[in-house]
Amino acid sequence: MVIEITPFLDTNKKEPLYVQLYSYFKNEIQKGNMKTGEKIPSKRNLARHLAISQHTVETAYEQLIAEGYVESKPRKGLYVNEILQDSLLIHQSKPNVWDRSNHVENDDEIDFSHGQIALEEFPYNVWKKIANATFSKEQDYLLINGDRQGEFSLREQIAHYLYQSRGVRCVPDQIVIGAGTQYLLGLLILILGRQSIFSIEDPGFHRTREVFYDQGVTTIPISLDEHGMNVEELNKSNASITYVTPSHQFPMGIVMPINRRMELIQWAKEKKAFIIEDDYDGEFRYKGRPIPALQGLDSSGRVIYLGTFSKSFFPSIRISYMVLPPSLLQIYHERYTIYKQTVSRLHQMTMFNFMKEGHWERHLHKMRTTYRRKQKKLLEMIHFFLCKDVVVIGADSGLHILLSVHNGMTENELINAAKTKKVKVYPTSIYFATQDPKDQPMVLLGFGGLSEPEMEKGVKLLKEAWNIG
Ligand SMILES: Cc1ncc(COP(=O)(O)O)c(C=O)c1O
């Protein structure tokens, strides 16, 4: 299996990037987080993933080879070295479509929904084969209710994946699987206690806000600045829980920089508060270096990590999960395992087999390339056809962007004018709890489910509908 990694490389540090990268590998190998015989990423892939030069990676790798941490196998790549792995092991910190093709009918509706995924890339045959093999007479126990927390083997795979791809550090026991982020938030409110005071980004994810409202918990909106949630404002509030989307703020698309992440963690530490980190589409980052999840940066057990397969795989599978810090895990075990698992055991085990056989890693790699290409195309089209009359917001990652349109139309007028051309774009005002974004009307465009010709046609129609460009 090839390891994927997400270290934090800091250009402000005196230490050169290659030294930081070398130290990261060395540390992870010594701690046993990278295991004997695991393949480390190719120079090219890692340089692209971390947005650094191949030369930087090469220099770090040369040092690791020289010191014997990794070995080079001719024509195969670099592998974590056996002897060093075993002798230096200090501690185990981690136990271990339909084919839309290129054809667009003239009167097809172009739907820029952010809930769509690239159906044309779905691995139908592999999934069908694995689902069939999983659902066999020999596995008849799958017809009976399983572990309330979710299948252990799937949780193991998720823990491994989260560590490699998002820098999250957890053991499978900390993971609770559930049918969707909203369901898990409901459960989390029970664990945290309804008397707690919650806060949420404003603008922020309306479905989370609704869960807080429906559960009757006090909810304080906290405004954003260019780095994400305003921690000064959060500090002044009496909130003891905060919900954030740091990898790709929903809906504004802000990627929270490392300093703000550390401030947020500091707030939680000082106030003995909890951060709910919703990392719904953190796998898809197009610019800059990946920043590890808050959960991986926090050493005080103050972050609850929420993840989902809805964006990275497909939404109707309804497999989402949360990673509980030890103090909350204890409450969950004591009081809330009364609630049965909400995701079908068959789907969980199919997903497990899919991951175990290496298909998940391949699929994710493919989807990163696909969405990067789609986003690039969409931005090109916007720059070409809509030009200076629009500003693109939040294009560093994720499966949607925002367009601030400067033609005098209100948000409603923009949406309705697009509708007359059979193009669906989406409002952003619904995400604002207190402010009114009237002065700066913005619409949301998801691109995951559209083909390149569809996007091109859609943007051309928007130009006509909005009379700009
Ligand atoms: C901010 C945010 N969180 C979470 C999710 C995923 O929700 P679920 O896991 O219920 O599919 C989405 C999907 O649209 C989202 O936009």
Amino acid found at 234: L
Q: 212: Cβ below 6 Å to ligand 1? A: no
What is the 205 CA–ligand 1 centroid distance (Å)? 8
Give the model's confidence band at 107: pLDDT under 50 very low, under 70 low, under 90 confident, else very high. Answer: low
Q: 313: Cβ below 6 Å to ligand 1? A: no
Helix, strand or coil, per DSSP, at residue 55: helix
- Sheet with 70-73, strands from edge to edge, namely 39-40, 77-80, 70-73
Better-predicted residue by pLDDT, 97 or 291: 291
Cβ–Cβ under 8 Å, residues 465 and 416: no
**Where does the chain hold its CATH 3.40.640.10 domain(s)?**
145-358
Where do runs of H (alpha helix) occur along 338-427?
A: 345-356, 359-381, 411-420
**Where does the chain hold its CATH 1.10.10.10 domain(s)?**
17-87
User: Can you identify the CATH homologous superfamily of domain 110-123+362-466?
Assistant: Aspartate Aminotransferase, domain 1 (3.90.1150.10)
Least confident window among 130-139, 258-267, 310-319: 130-139
Cα–Cα distances (Å) from 57 to 109, 141, 373, in that order, read 46, 47, 24
Closest CA to 398 of 297, 264, 263, 278: 278
Q: 245: Cβ below 6 Å to ligand 1? A: yes
What is the 176 CA–ligand 1 centroid distance (Å)? 16
Helix, strand or coil, per DSSP, at residue 57: helix
Better-predicted residue by pLDDT, 342 or 79: 342
Q: How much is the mean pLDDT over the chain?
A: 91
Q: Which of 249, 250, 314, 351 to mutate to test the pocket of ligand 1 (most atoms within 8 A of CB)?
A: 250
Report the CATH number of the 145-358 domain: 3.40.640.10
Classify the C-alpha dihedral 408-443-291-43 as positive or negative: negative
For the stretch 308-329, pLDDT in tens is: 999 999 999 999 999 999 999 9
Report the CATH number of the 17-87 domain: 1.10.10.10
Q: 454: Cβ below 6 Å to ligand 1? A: no
Closest CA to 304 of 336, 279, 282: 279
Minimal-distance CA residue to ligand 1 atom 4 = 280
Which pLDDT does position 91 carry in this prediction?
A: 36
Strands 39-40 and 77-80: antiparallel
Half-sphere CA count of 156, side-chain side, radius 13 A: 9
**Where does the chain hold its CATH 3.90.1150.10 domain(s)?**
110-123+362-466
> What's phi and psi for 224, nearest 5 deg?
-110, 155
Amino acid found at 392: V
